[in-house]
Structure 1
């Protein structure tokens, strides 16, 4: 409710593509951006703006970027993260899970060997199928769950064994690795 009121009351509202599309029913004048770097320009142009991003802005989200740019954040109102949503859909606890992001960055997948569950944010270059292949080459066995377009009408969750063929339906995905540890 607090976020809804902010969307309605702020003079300048900025949102990333899919977020702005889903909010058009509330407000038609949302400034749509596709790259995080555009925020710098808008902050210089407008004194107060509301920035809308999906998920939890504190988990590999926009807060990290704004802090690096020394941009003052007055308030953070987080949403549910894609990995929280995915684990709820799977009915699995994520307590103690290994959390990784390959969304626009590279990370070593070796830590997956040490955890029963690993949750990975992906992008078009680090897709669920490429992660599955990498894990298979590393000798990791178990199951991969790939969630695509989570919380949208075309949401799909696919379950395969590590190394099996996996169709990359969308770059909007989360991977959960259930490691068959000895």
Structure 2
């Protein structure tokens, strides 16, 4: 593990820099779609649009945001988006999505740095649990040893649920109207 990785909230000026990482879990995602998602999350996190990821003046992390792991030179090697939300069984829970590691040499080190950041956020936000949704392509079904899920297990996480997704835009033709007024995939 490389202790040189630093966990930092994504800043507004770093949105474009983070785009290649997100493409690793969402190939084909348009840059404008990523920019809109990240900007909306950063705006809701700060309430002022500053993109700093903390509640102003409080030093406490925002209830929603995007956390990155960077090396000393500022290159991003991983990120996740998060929101602190109520949960029926666990109470206040840190819900994590878009977990991505993009590193050729130290996947486990980056994943461990993200997991430590995740736990620190959860504790600072008063959460009783962390729920992480991993992209399907993150988990290799044919491998006995998979570095990212292994890091989760090593850090005390356990699989609790299986999440299914039905894409209504594809299955039920509920795609948003496009510029010419037609619906998508007709």
TM-score range, shorter chain: under 0.3
- The TM-score with structure 1 as length reference comes to 0.25
